[in-house]
Amino acid sequence: MSGGMAIVGLPWETIQTICPPDIYFSGDNSQNIIMISGPSESLKSFAKELTEKRIFVRLLDTCEIAPHSPYMADAGVLLREYAKEVIPNKTLRSSKWISTSVSEEDWDSPEAQYMNDIYVENLLNNQVRFYQASLHIPNNSVVIEVSPKATLGIFVEETVPSVRYLPCVLKKNEINPAIFSKENFKSLLRRENDSTF
């Protein structure tokens, strides 16, 4: 199946009543911006319908997969087998590790307590609860986004305005020198009351 993902400018509670049955909620970036995943053609058709209703929607390039949805189940099993080789021993997550792949009410469950093959599988299959997790970011934190594209800054700064957000990759696919320069990175970790932060 050719799959995909889209960002939609509505909360899930609103959109689920009109969402086709083969499209799934795959995550939330903020209170009113969510992600949905499903078959490509169904997503394109639904995106057109939403656009005609003047609802913000943007299709994302996901290499024809439907991330964070039931369509990833087979890939998740395969990923878990590979993860067993890379992570042979489970590691207890620290209290500072805010999970986005498990609902907050399940953070203390045995499956969510450890970094292991099960946790890695959940990262692929489960919904991304980014908004829920971002509510736990302390004020005046430094948040570094490790991804090939800088996409979450606007949502982090909206939820926790006092944070200093830094993407690893800048808009023109340039490496961010603020992170990858040793001296610059050290300065980020200093607790200085700097108005630029």
Strands 91-92 and 114-115: antiparallel
> pLDDT tens, 131-149?
999 999 999 888 888 777 7
Domains observed in the chain: 3-60 (3.30.70.250), 70-131 (1.10.287.1960), 138-189 (no CATH)
Whether the Cβ atoms of residue 28 and residue 35 lie closer than 8 Å to each other: yes
Share of the chain above pLDDT 90, in %: 53
Confidence check: pLDDT of 177 > 80: no
Measure the CA angle with vertex 184, ends 181 and 186; round to 5°.
Answer: 110
Confidence check: pLDDT of 38 > 80: yes
Confidence check: pLDDT of 192 > 50: no
Q: For residue 12, what is the enclosing H or E element?
A: helix 12-15
> Which tokens is 166 given?
């830094």
Cβ neighbour number for residue 97 with a 10 Å cutoff:
11
Distance in angstroms (rounded) separating the CA atoms of residues 197 and 187: 11
pLDDT class of 189 with cuts at 50, 70, 90: low
Whether the Cβ atoms of residue 9 and residue 32 lie closer than 8 Å to each other: yes
Higher pLDDT, 162 or 190: 162
Q: CA dist 137 to 45, 80, 96, 143, Å?
A: 36, 29, 9, 9
- 3-state SS class at 192: coil
Whether the Cβ atoms of residue 160 and residue 141 lie closer than 8 Å to each other: yes
The closest of 159, 152, 112 to 138, measured between CA atoms, is 159
> pLDDT tens, 95-126?
888 889 988 898 888 878 899 999 999 999 99
State the number of CA atoms in the 13 A half-sphere of 133 facing the CB: 22
Q: Which residues of 44-78 are buried (b: 16+ CB within 10 A; e: fewer)?
A: eebbeebeeeeeebeeeeeeebbbbbebbeeebee
Distance in angstroms (rounded) separating the CA atoms of residues 108 and 114: 10
pLDDT class of 181 with cuts at 50, 70, 90: low
Per-residue model confidence (pLDDT) at position 95: 81
Determine the average pLDDT of the residues in 163-183. 75
